[in-house]
């Protein structure tokens, strides 16, 4: 079961961060967000906005070399677990070493490059695809597609993010 997809045009890194701030309001403990897009597309910038919106500790930076970074909540919200699966070759076996299934119930987990690697963690996930706009001479415009998968996202109105 899948909720509707939402397509947005994001015109700058600041707008990408703002989208993350708005998206954070829809997230709760147990949510898995999968980010897909080429290098430099804005995945970490979006996650930075999520971290701000969730009120977590620490600067959100790309976890490329540590693979996963946990940002505890500064309040009573869930921690943010930020994963970069780019260097993880084999599916869930390598992901299991990170114990994400243990963290998932009480955390918001954001996985960059998670396609084909983390789907088995949960039936419910939000897929966020970020593409550079063709012909954009500023290299800042992005097309963002958000697709909710599973019962959790069937009840979420993604349209509120276009504000």
CB 51 within 8 Å of CB 60: yes
Residue partners of 8: CB distance under 8 A and separation at least 6: 19, 143, 144, 145, 146, 161, 162
pLDDT-derived band at 45 (thresholds 50, 70, 90) equals very high
| Residue with the larger pLDDT of the pair 52 and 100 | 52
Q: Tell me the H-state helices in 75-144.
A: 91-96, 100-103
Interval 88-145: pLDDT, tens: 665 556 556 666 666 778 899 999 988 887 887 888 999 999 999 888 778 899 999 9
pLDDT of 1 reads: 44
């Amino acid at each position: 079961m899948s909720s509707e997809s939402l397509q947005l045009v994001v015109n700058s890194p600041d707008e990408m961060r703002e989208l993350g701030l708005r998206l954070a309001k829809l997230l709760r403990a147990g949510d898995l967000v999968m980010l897909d897009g080429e290098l430099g597309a804005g995945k970490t910038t979006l996650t930075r906005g999520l971290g701000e919106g969730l009120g977590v500790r620490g600067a959100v930076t790309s976890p490329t070399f540590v693979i996963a970074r946990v940002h505890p909540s500064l309040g009573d919200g869930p921690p943010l677990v930020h994963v970069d699966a780019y260097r993880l070759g084999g599916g869930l076996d390598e992901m299991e070493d990170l114990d994400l299934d243990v963290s998932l119930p009480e955390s918001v987990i954001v996985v960059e490059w998670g396609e084909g690697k983390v789907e088995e963690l949960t039936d419910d996930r939000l897929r966020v695809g970020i593409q550079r706009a063709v012909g954009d001479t500023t290299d800042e415009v992005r097309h963002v597609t958000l697709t909710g998968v599973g019962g959790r996202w069937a009840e979420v109105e993604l349209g509120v993010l276009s504000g």
